[in-house]
Amino acid sequence: MNHLMIAPVLLPCLTAVLLLFLAKQDKGIQRAVSVLSTFAMVAISLALVAQAGQGGYGVYALGDWPIPFGIILVLDRLSAGMVLLTSVVAVGSLLYAIQGWDLKGTNYHALFQFQIMGLNGAFLTGDIFNLFVFFEVLLIASYGLLLHGGGADRVRAGLQYVVVNLTGSAFFLIALGIIYGTLGTLNMADMAAKASTINPELVPVLQAGAFLLLVVFSIKAAVLPLYFWLPGAYRAASAPVAALFAIMTKVGVYSILRVFTLVFGPEGGAVANIALPILIPAGLLTLGMAALGALAARDLRTLLAYLVIVSVGTLLVALGISGQEALAAGLYYMAHSTVVVAGLFLLAELIKDQRGAREDTLLPAPAVRQPAILGSLFFLGAMGVAGLPPLSGFVGKALVLRSAVDSPHMGWIFGVILGGSLLSLVALSRAGSVLFWKTEGSGDARNPAATATGGALLPVILFVGFTAILVLAAGPIYAYLDAMAGQLADPTGYISGVLGGGN
């Protein structure tokens, strides 16, 4: 059996345990261990992407229990791609964190590695209760990371974030109970095989379970009306944590994608395509409201948090259009938006530190100390997020819109996506001009030590540069994503591949 598939879960877990033992040691050793492990994680995820690129489904049966009964990990192109995306964001976030943030509380690196473990496990698992367990792992690590650094604002935002997510977990369990009670299995491939042949009396119950599951994933993905926890939480988080959180909403989108194309997908019988009518309206409403929220934001980090929600809305629209072309477009857009927003969150803190008492509120303040580098990075990042050519935001949005041309809701989709882009563009331009050009007062109020070092700028440059790579290598990347979407559009292939033991 190919044991590389369990490495994305085992490696961060063992690293975190090692870091807990090293908690009293010199910080340099902890940082070295954490960085080495994260770079190894990137290498492993590249190997997994190469393995999954050969087609077919890799199946790893934990404990070697027979397949529908035990817990399995499934490696297809989507899981491998999401693990790679997680590793890329984690590397950047960690490189930023070792510039000083990791010293502001205890056990930052151990919590970080546990978070990576939870994310990788959630992307790789093929069992829905195991998905719940990995959700909990990543959530509890995120609670610790969100509160890292302390302070009244963080504790306030943290308490609200924790209570919302605990409620979501309770609902997740109710949904799992309903689904297990009706389908009799927790293995996702087996659920898909059984969903079309259940007793007709149980169909309404299963539908209720499916929609409750959609609600739970929507809480995680920050879909209207369940996104109100996000701006406060992301604004209060420290910069490397906020950058890592850029991928947390994508876990919710991934779960919707996986469960509602596979189990409740086109082959589902009485529950086929059950979420499809809701996804486009939900996505458009989320996008619209979040664009308005971005316009109303009073500081840069709240603005960026609302732009995260805008990207989630666009992704849901792409999922709702369904079909291979729309899914490929959505996956390209997911990769782009995650990385560019992570970079912008890191940049927001660099800007905030250099503006003195005004921090990152969108009011005139003394000029930043390094306007050239910070300004140009902000300009590139904002171009990426708003969807201006030639960066990857434009390519992603154009792909999504192109896939919407044949949809019956084409008018609404074009209108709201383009309108949302316009509003985000206005919000970002206003933010940029206030932060860099509308300066007032002298520089005496600034923190004299706040100069962005090369080490802090490197992850920002890497993330913003990633958008350039996404454009320059768009051909091969889109080909891989198209094959990924092809696998997703073929649930029968998944079911027979996984239940047959994989290859």
Residues that bind another protein (CB under 8 A): 129, 133, 136, 140, 143, 147, 150-152, 155-156, 158-160, 162-163, 166-167, 169-170, 173-174, 176-178, 180-181, 186
- Strand locations in 261-370, DSSP E? none
Complex with another protein: residue 16 or 178, whichever CB lies closer = 178
Distance of CA 321 to the CA centre of its chain: 20
Complex with another protein: residue 245 or 332, whichever CB lies closer = 245
| In the complex, least distance from residue 244 CB atom to another protein, rounded to whole angstroms | 19
| In the complex, least distance from residue 137 CB atom to another protein, rounded to whole angstroms | 9
Angle CA(369)–CA(374)–CA(380) in degrees, nearest 5?
Answer: 160
Complex with another protein: residue 236 or 304, whichever CB lies closer = 236
Token pair 């090692």 is at which residue? 18
Complex with another protein: residue 76 or 127, whichever CB lies closer = 127
Kindly give the interhelix angle for 454-472 and 474-488, rounded to the nearest 10 degrees: 70
Task: Please name which of 263, 255, 23, 222 lies closest in space to residue 121, comparing C-alpha atoms.
Answer: 255
Q: Does residue 312 contact residue 58 with C-beta atoms inside 8 Å?
A: no
| In the complex, least distance from residue 177 CB atom to another protein, rounded to whole angstroms | 4
Q: Does residue 491 contact residue 261 with C-beta atoms inside 8 Å?
A: yes
Complex with another protein: residue 220 or 397, whichever CB lies closer = 220
Q: Does residue 131 contact residue 168 with C-beta atoms inside 8 Å?
A: no
| In the complex, least distance from residue 502 CB atom to another protein, rounded to whole angstroms | 23
As to burial, measured by CB atoms within 10 angstroms (0-12 exposed, 13-18 middle, 19+ buried), residue 170 is exposed
Q: Does residue 286 contact residue 224 with C-beta atoms inside 8 Å?
A: yes
| In the complex, least distance from residue 362 CB atom to another protein, rounded to whole angstroms | 22
Strand partners, 75: 58
Complex with another protein: residue 113 or 130, whichever CB lies closer = 130
Complex with another protein: residue 139 or 365, whichever CB lies closer = 139
As to burial, measured by CB atoms within 10 angstroms (0-12 exposed, 13-18 middle, 19+ buried), residue 323 is middle
Helix (H) or strand (E) holding 480: helix 474-488
Complex with another protein: residue 135 or 333, whichever CB lies closer = 135
| In the complex, least distance from residue 225 CB atom to another protein, rounded to whole angstroms | 16
Helix (H) or strand (E) holding 82: helix 77-97
CA distances from residue 496 to 130, 193, 342, 488, 500 in whole angstroms, order as listed: 21, 9, 37, 13, 6
| In the complex, least distance from residue 150 CB atom to another protein, rounded to whole angstroms | 8
| In the complex, least distance from residue 175 CB atom to another protein, rounded to whole angstroms | 10
